[in-house]
A and B are shown apart, each in its own frame.
Chain A
C-alpha cells in the first residue's frame, strides 16, 4: 500500500491553501491550484518536507491569530496569512509558492488553456517569424559607428 504524501488534515489544508492562492477561472479553462496534483509534484522534486512545514505553519498561524482553523476564515483573511512575509515560516511558504507556480504553469491543462502546446520543446521546436530585415535600412544608411584604431 502506498504511504500517503500528507495526512488527511494536512491534505485538506493544503488543498484550501492552493485554491486560495490560485482560484479556478472556468471562463479561461483554468483549474484552481488545488487541481494540479501539487503534492505529487512536490514529492518528485524533493520538496515535500518543506511543503509540510508550510502547511503546518499556516494551520498554526490561523489558530494563533484568529482562534479558528484556516478553513473557517474568509478568503481575504486566508490570503492575508498566506502572503504575510513577516511570519516566522515565511521562507518555507514562499518556496512552496514558487514551486506551486512551477507545477501550475507546466500542468498540461493550464498550458493548453494559456495558448501553448503541452509538450517538451524538443523534438518539435517552434515556428518564429523571421521579421522584416528592411527595418534595418535606416541603421545601415547611418554609416560607420565604430572607431578605427
Chain B
C-alpha cells in the first residue's frame, strides 16, 4: 500500500469532519472504515412495516445486529448497554440528530463546581468550530436561546407539532426554560439536499437524506476533494516505529487479507468504545499495556449519560408520533449546578415524538396499560397519538473504574479481542436521575397529562460514549493533550468523544465534531512540523 500523509480510522461523525477539514490542504488522506456505504432506499422508512423491519439490521445494539461490520461488545457488567452503528456515517446513520452544544460551564466543572475535571480547552476555543460544523451539518433551530451564548445562522426550527406546543405551555406554567431543539436536519432545501418531510423514523436512517448523517454532509465534499475512503476494512492495530511515533496501521480488507498502511499522521475516530479497544489491542514492546497507555488511562473514565424516560398520556389527539423522532423541543432549566438539589451538574429534558402504532401497543401491553382481550381497543385508542415522551439526559461524572478493557475470551470475526464494559451509575448520577424523573412527571402534569410514567436508567441507550482517552495537560491522568495528540505517541491523534474530559448533559455530537475540526485545524496549521 502506498504511504499516505494522513490515515483516519473510522468514517463516522468525527472522522468525516477531520477528513473534510484536512482535504483542502493538499495532503494525501486515506480513511479506513469497517462498515459499508449505506443506501437510503434500504432504510426501514421505505417499508410500510418499518417498525418491524428496524428490529434486526437497524437495531441499536451491535450484539443484536451481528452484521459483518459489527464487533461484539461484552456489556453484561454495565448498567447501560452500548449502542452504535458501523458504516460510512457511523452512528450518525441511526442518531436522532438532536444537536445542542456543550455549555461553557461543561468545560470547567472542577473550577466551577468542584467535581469532575477541567478540559484544557474551553467553549470559546471551540466556538468558531461549532459555527463551521453547524453550517456543514445544516443545523436547524432558533436564535436567542438564553441557555446558550449566541448561536447564529440556523435553519428554521423543526416543527413543534401539537405535542411540542402542549408541552411548551406546560414549561411556561412552571416558569421553566424550554426552546426548539437544535437539530442537524435540513428544514429547507440546501444545496443538493432535499428538505425534511417529517418521515418520522429518523433513528432508523433517513430515506430522504434530510437528516444530517455525515455520509450526506462531510463525506461528499471530502471525497470530491480527493480523500480516499476504503470500506469493509477493519483495523487490527496501530503501528509505531519503536521510538514512540505512530507510523500507520495493520488492517484486514473486505476479503480478509492483511495489509500494512503507512502514514505520517494517524487520526483515530472509532468512538468511546472502539478507540480504546484499538489502542489496547495495539500492544508492542514499547507499549505492553496498549498504545499510549503507559499511564493506564486508556479505557478509563467511561461516561455514558444515564438516561431517564418520562411519558405523559393526554386526552387530546395530538398525532404525537408525527415529526422527526428525536427532535422537537428541549428544556434546560436544571442544566447548571444548584447544590440545593442534592447533586452537582445537571441534565437536559429532551422531548421526543410519541410512539407509532406497534410500539404504542407493545409498550402499553408491557406496562399493563393496554389489556389483552376485552378493553384492548379502547385502551389503545386512549393512548395512541396522545403520548408525549421525554428523555432525561444526565451529565455523567468521570470515574476511573468505569472503563473499557479487552474481553479475555470474546473476539470479533477477525479474531481481534472485543471490548468489555464495566460501568455503574455514581451516586451523583442516581440523585440527578431521580430529580429529573420527578421534574419530568411534574412537567407532563403541568401540561395536562392525565397519566404519567417514568423510569430510569433506560438500559438500551448507550449511544453517548465518552471519556476513555481523555484530554488533559497532565500525562499521568489523561491520554491526549490539548491538541488531541497522544501524550506518549507523536503523530497519533484522537478526535472522537473518547477525548471528552467531561460529558455535559447533552448529546455529544455537536461538541465532538467541533473538537474534531479544532484538532484537524491544529494539524493543518502545523503541517510542516507534524509531517516531519
A residues whose Cβ falls under 8 Å from a Cβ of B: 20-23, 25, 28, 30, 45, 75, 79, 82-83, 97-99, 101-106, 108, 110-111, 114-116, 118-133, 135-136, 138-140, 142-149
CB distance from B43 to the nearest CB of A (A): 8
Instruction: Tell me whether chain A's interface is mostly helix, strand or loop, or mixed.
Output: loop
Given contact pairs A101-B365, A120-B46, A136-B179, A145 touches B159 in the complex (Cβ within 8 A): no
**B365–A147 contact, CB under 8 A?**
no
Q: List 23 A-B contacts (CB under 8 A).
A: A21-B372, A22-B376, A30-B377, A75-B373, A83-B372, A101-B361, A102-B52, A103-B52, A105-B360, A106-B51, A108-B48, A115-B385, A120-B48, A121-B201, A123-B197, A125-B208, A126-B322, A126-B323, A139-B172, A146-B147, A149-B105, A149-B111, A149-B122
Complex formed: what's the CA distance from A13 to B466 in Å? 51
Taken residue by residue from 180 to 214, chain B's Cβ proximity to chain A (1 for < 8 Å, 0 otherwise) reads as: 10000000000000001111110000011000000
Which one, A79, A114, A125, contacts B384 given CB within 8 A? A114
Is B142 a contact of A136 with CB atoms below 8 Å? yes
Whether B104 sits at the interface, judged by CB under 8 Å, is: yes
A111 contact from B146, B149, B201, B357, Cβ within 8 A: B357
Chain B CB count within 10 A is highest, among A28, A79, A146, for: A146
Determine if A22 and B198 form an interchain contact, defined as CB atoms under 8 angstroms apart: no
Q: B residues within 8 A CB of A30?
A: 377
Residue on B nearest A110 in the bound complex, by CB? B357
- Stretch of B160-168, B218-226, B493-501 with 4 or more beta carbons under 8 angstroms from chain A: B160-168
B358 at the interface (CB under 8 A from A): yes
Contacts A79-B373, A106-B357, A145-B177 given; does A131 touch B201 at CB 8 Å:
no
B479 close to A (CB within 8 Å): no
Whether B430 sits at the interface, judged by CB under 8 Å, is: no
- Give the residue among B146, B165, B198, B385 with the most A Cβ atoms within 10 A: B146
- Tell me whether A146 and B159 are in contact (CB under 8 A): no
Distance in Å from the Cβ of B512 to the closest Cβ of chain A?
19
Q: How far is the CA of A115 from the CA of B356 in the complex (A)?
A: 12
Chain A nearest CB, measured from B67 CB (Å): 16
Tell me whether B45 and A121 are in contact (CB under 8 A).
yes
- Report the Cα distance A140→B150, complex, angstroms: 13
Known: A128-B323, A138-B172, A146-B146. 13 other contacts (CB 8 A): A20-B372, A105-B361, A121-B199, A121-B201, A121-B207, A122-B46, A126-B200, A128-B322, A139-B146, A139-B171, A146-B105, A147-B336, A149-B105
Tell me which residues across on chain A come within 8 A of B149, comparing CB atoms: 146
A133 to B47, CA, bound (A): 34
Residues in chain B near residue A136, CB distance under 8 A: 142, 168, 178-180
Residues in chain A near residue B277, CB distance under 8 A: none
Which chain A residues border B165 with CB–CB below 8 Å?
129, 131-132, 135
Take A131-B165, A149-B122 as given contacts and tell me if A122 and B49 are in contact as well, using a CB distance cutoff of 8 Å: no
CA distance A106 to B372 in the complex (A): 18
**Among candidates A98, A130, A131, A149, residue contacting B112 with C-beta atoms closer than 8 Å:** A149
Asked whether A124 lies within 8 Å of B197 as measured between CB atoms, the reply is yes
* Nearest Cβ on chain B to A32's Cβ, whole angstroms: 10
Contact status B365-A122, CB under 8 Å: no
CB distance from A140 to the nearest CB of B (A): 6
* Chain B contact residues, CB within 8 Å of chain A: 43, 45-52, 103-105, 107-108, 111-112, 122-123, 142, 144, 146-149, 157, 159-162, 164-165, 168-169, 171-172, 175, 177-180, 196-201, 207-208, 317, 319, 322-323, 332-333, 335-336, 357-358, 360-362, 365, 372-374, 376-377, 380-381, 384-385
Chain B: CB-nearest residue to A108: B48
Instruction: Tell me the interface secondary structure of chain B in the complex.
Output: loop
- Name the distance in Å between A45's Cβ and chain B's nearest Cβ: 6
State A116–B335 Cα separation when bound (angstroms): 38
Is there contact, CB below 8 Å, between A125 and B198?
A: yes
How far is it, in angstroms, between the C-alpha of A76 and the C-alpha of B335 when the chains are bound? Answer: 50
- Asked if A131 contacts B161 (CB within 8 A), the reply is yes
Given A22-B376, A23-B374, A148 and B48 contact (CB-CB distance below 8 Å)? no
* Closest Cβ–Cβ distance, residue B198 to chain A (whole Å): 5
Q: B144, B148, B335: which contacts A140 (Cβ < 8 A)?
A: B144
Supposing A122-B208, A145-B146 touch, asked if A102 and B358 sit within 8 A by C-beta, the answer is yes
A49 CB to nearest chain B CB (Å): 16
Residue in chain B with minimal CB distance to A28: B377
Shortest distance from the beta carbon of A136 to any chain B beta carbon, whole Å: 7
Partner of A147, one of B103, B178, B198: B103
In Å, the complex CA distance between A116 and B162 comes to 17
Bound complex: CA A138 to CA B258 (Å): 61
Contacts of B177 in A (CB 8 A): 139, 142, 145
Q: Could you tell me if B357 and A114 are in contact, using CB atoms closer than 8 angstroms? A: yes
A114 adjacent to B381 (CB under 8 Å): yes
User: Closest 8 CB pairs between A and B?
Assistant: A131-B160, A125-B197, A105-B357, A122-B207, A121-B199, A128-B159, A101-B361, A106-B49
Contact of B336 with A129 in the complex, beta carbons under 8 Å: no
Set of chain A residues within 8 Å of B381, measured between Cβ atoms: 28, 114
Contact B104 A149 (CB under 8 A): yes
B180 touches A105 (CB 8 A): no
- Among B169, B323, B377, B385, the most chain A Cβ lie within 10 Å of the Cβ of B377
A82→B372 CA distance, assembly (Å): 9
- Residue from the list A110, A131, A140, A142 in contact with B159, Cβ < 8 A: A131
A103 vs B208: C-alpha distance when bound (angstroms): 25
Name the distance in Å between B267's Cβ and chain A's nearest Cβ. 28
Q: Are A131 and B168 in contact (CB under 8 A)?
A: yes
Q: Which residues of A contact B52 (CB under 8 A)?
A: 45, 99, 102-103, 106
Q: Which residues of A contact B180 (CB under 8 A)?
A: 133, 136
Smallest beta-carbon distance B167→chain A, Å? 10
> What residues of A have a CB within 8 angstroms of the CB of B105 in the complex?
146-147, 149
| B160 near A130: Cβ-Cβ < 8 Å | yes
Are A147 and B112 in contact, with the CB atoms below 8 A? yes
Contact of B107 among A82, A123, A145, A149 (CB under 8 A): A149
* 8 Å CB contact of A135 from B168, B198, B365: B168
Contact status A21-B146, CB under 8 Å: no
Nearest B residue to A148, CB-CB? B104
A148 to B45 CA separation, bound complex (whole angstroms): 43
